[in-house]
């Protein structure tokens, strides 16, 4: 019986890690993986979503609507920053590093000055359930479902809609898309805004589970980047397998030796995968298909 409890605990932790990696990485997969913008302000979009969601929930808005509001505000902020800053830095990856790093510093310090060193949270909803002598959060299972649903929605958006077709065409061959009458500036803005909104959605979903501080975005950034790098350029083929592999590695080592070893194992796994598959998991899948 203890073996069964241990197996369930491992699956629960692996699912939790998978959800965290997917939700953290989806927005970055759009901005960095698809658009090629090295967005060091990704954590601050997550911060924006978390703060807006928590504030709206404390004002009486139902939590699901508060989370969606946080995603919407992050998306609008992302579109504004794309218009003011990012649009002038396309095809200049080193400059995007400096530009988004500056945005990150301004957002973090501005939040600290204006809102203080922390913000009251909303508390984790749905309570917990027991399996044998152990208890587990129901909300963590909700996050796993949200991660899977988000992957499905992104696949449908980019493969089954006109916007998805225009976005992929604009990002891959912008001059041809513009020659065919596509408003590429609008498509770039909407795509960047979508990535920012996905980051805000991650912040809103995890706001009930975390202490809300101006530097909370840093808890997401490293794992988001490693997931996108391991997954490769194709957000649909790479992100989910990368999150599953890294989630299992992290859960196994965390169960064995604790959180620190889980983080170390995650980074070692990334180094190994990049060494063996320099174009990531999606690059390997596409090569095998060819």
Give me the DSSP letters along 112-124: HHHH-S-B-----
pLDDT tens for 71-100 read 999 999 999 999 999 998 888 888 899 999
Question: pLDDT band at 108, cuts 50/70/90?
Answer: very high
Q: Does residue 290 register a pLDDT over 60? A: no
Q: What is the pTM of this model?
A: 0.92
Tokens linked to 221: 């950034």
Cβ contacts of residue 9 below 8 Å, gap of 6+?
134, 255
- pLDDT given at position 233: 67
Mean pLDDT of the 230-253 span: 82
H or E stretch including 133?
A: none
Residue keyed to tokens 């027991």: 130
Q: Choose among 31, 167, 152: nearest CA to 100.
A: 31
Residues above pLDDT 70, as percent of the chain: 97
Q: Choose among 234, 200, 262, 182: nearest CA to 76.
A: 200
Question: pLDDT band at 61, cuts 50/70/90?
Answer: very high
The DSSP call for residue 278 is: T
State in words which class domain 1-288 has. mainly alpha
Tokens linked to 202: 């991650």
Q: Does residue 131 register a pLDDT over 90? A: no
C-alpha 191/C-alpha 75 separation (Å) is 10
Mean pLDDT of the 32-43 span: 88
Q: Choose among 11, 20, 22: nearest CA to 238.
A: 22
Tokens linked to 43: 């954590």
Which phi and psi angles does 130 have, rounded to 5°? Answer: -115, 140
Mean pLDDT of the 260-284 span: 80
Question: pLDDT band at 2, cuts 50/70/90?
Answer: low
- pLDDT given at position 143: 95
Q: Does residue 40 register a pLDDT over 80? A: yes
C-alpha 289/C-alpha 161 separation (Å) is 24
- Show the 3-state SS of 204-262: HHHHHHCCECCCCCHHHHHHHHHHHHHHCCCHHHHHHHHHHHHHHHHHHHHHHHCHHHH
- pLDDT given at position 203: 95
- pLDDT given at position 125: 87
Q: Which residue has the higher pLDDT, 179 or 148?
A: 148
Per the prediction, the chain carries an average pLDDT of 87
């Amino acid at each position: 019986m203890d073996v069964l409890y241990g197996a369930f605990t491992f699956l629960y932790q692996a699912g939790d890690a998978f959800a965290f990696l997917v939700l953290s990485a989806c927005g970055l997969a759009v901005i960095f993986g698809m658009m090629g913008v090295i967005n060091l302000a990704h954590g601050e979009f997550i911060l924006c979503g978390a703060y807006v969601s928590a504030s709206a929930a404390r004002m009486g808005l139902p939590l699901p609507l508060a989370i969606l509001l946080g995603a919407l505000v992050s998306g609008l902020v992302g579109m504004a920053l794309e218009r003011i800053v990012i649009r002038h830095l396309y095809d200049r990856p080193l400059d995007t590093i400096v530009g988004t790093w500056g945005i990150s510093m301004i957002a973090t310090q501005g939040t600290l000055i204006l809102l203080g060193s922390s913000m009251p949270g909303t508390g984790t909803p749905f309570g917990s359930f027991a399996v044998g002598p152990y208890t587990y959060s129901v909300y963590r299972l909700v996050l796993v479902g949200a991660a899977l649903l988000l992957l499905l929605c992104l696949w449908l958006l980019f493969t089954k809609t006109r916007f998805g077709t225009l976005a992929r065409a604009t990002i891959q061959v912008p001059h041809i898309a513009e020659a065919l009458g596509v408003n590429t500036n609008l498509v770039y803005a909407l795509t960047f805004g979508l990535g920012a909104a996905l980051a805000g959605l991650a912040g809103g979903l995890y706001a009930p589970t975390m202490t809300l501080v101006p530097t909370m975005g840093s808890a997401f950034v490293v794992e988001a980047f490693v997931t996108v790098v391991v997954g490769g350029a194709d957000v649909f083929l790479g992100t989910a397998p990368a999150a599953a592999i890294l989630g299992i590695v992290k859960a196994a080592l965390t169960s064995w030796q604790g959180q620190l070893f889980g983080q170390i194992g995650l980074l070692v796994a990334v180094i190994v995968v990049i060494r063996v598959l320099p174009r990531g998991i999606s690059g390997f899948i596409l090569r095998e298909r060819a």
